[in-house]
Copies of this chain bind each other. A is one copy, B any other.
Amino acid sequence: MRVRVEVAVFTVRAGVLQVLLARGPGGAWLLPAADAGSGELLDQTAASAARDVAGLRGISMEQLFTFDRLPDAMSVAYLALIDAGRHPLAPGPDSVEVRWFAHDDLPVLVDGQDAVVAYGLARLRAKTAYAPVAVNLLPEMFTLGEMQAVYEALLGRDLDSRNFRRDVLGAGVVDESGEVRAEGRGRPARLYRSAGGHFAVDARERRAARQISSGDDPPS
């Protein structure tokens, strides 16, 4: 039985949620993928796929779901979130081209890869409700305005900045750096960084991202 590992890599650029695709020699657009096996862990295979296809290294990933690929294969799907600014793309040996696509304007994908993207998106949105996913999509230092923009791109709706600030700061998911950054016009913004460490998921801490909400459920 052939086992494939496919990775849906998301980023937010210019306020738009985007997905990474590679164009293979045949001209079709594909998710970064690799074959599992050879004594390698699935997580490692997923990391290899991101590295060999798109030049991405050291990104954090999470397993999503395992899809059938009849007649005799299956695909273990992964979700990765990165800051595109810190990870320049470098097409690997088997890719003609690697680039970002707006999540709502994808080309036709092979097989059932659109299901992988759709499920990754659903999971990503669901996680905004209880995990500080935005920090994975931002540079090391960021302003709360940038963070809010990421959540707005993920959720597709506007958030109230006063409530957003209160909740994020109250949840303790970010630390103030002490520095500020002037961003063209307007008052300079304070810079924050992730307080690091995953955080416990109980009602008290969930307040963080609760402006925010969505449901999760397996695909197909």
Which residue numbers of A lie inside 8 Å of B, CB to CB? 1-3, 36-37, 39, 41-42, 62-63, 65-66, 68, 70-72, 74, 76, 130, 198, 200-203, 213, 215-218
Q: How distant is A120 from chain B, measured CB to nearest CB, in Å?
A: 14
Tell me the bound Cα distance from A37 to B2 in angstroms: 9
Copies in the complex: 2
Flag if A200 contacts B215 (CB, 8 Å): yes
Pairwise interchain contact A63-B202, C-beta atoms closer than 8 A: no
Provide the residues of chain B in CB contact with A201, threshold 8 Å. Answer: 215-217
With a CB–CB cut-off of 8 A, which chain B residues contact A41? 68, 70
Alpha-carbon distance between A143 and B203 when the two chains are bound, in angstroms? 30
Q: A36: which of B36, B42, B74 is its contact (CB, 8 Å)?
A: B74
Contact of A203 among B3, B202, B213 (CB under 8 A): B213
Residues of B within 8 A of A217 (CB): 198, 201
Residues of B within 8 A of A2 (CB): 1
11 A-B contacts, Cβ less than 8 Å apart? A1-B1, A1-B3, A1-B37, A3-B3, A37-B72, A39-B70, A41-B68, A41-B70, A42-B68, A42-B74, A200-B215
Check B68–A65 contact: CB distance below 8 A.
no
Chain B residue nearest to A214 (CB atoms) is B201
Assembled-state Cα–Cα distance A113/B41 (Å): 17
Q: A1-B3, A213-B203 are in contact. Are A218 and B39 (CB under 8 A)?
A: no
Residues of chain B with a CB closer than 8 A to A72's CB: 37, 39
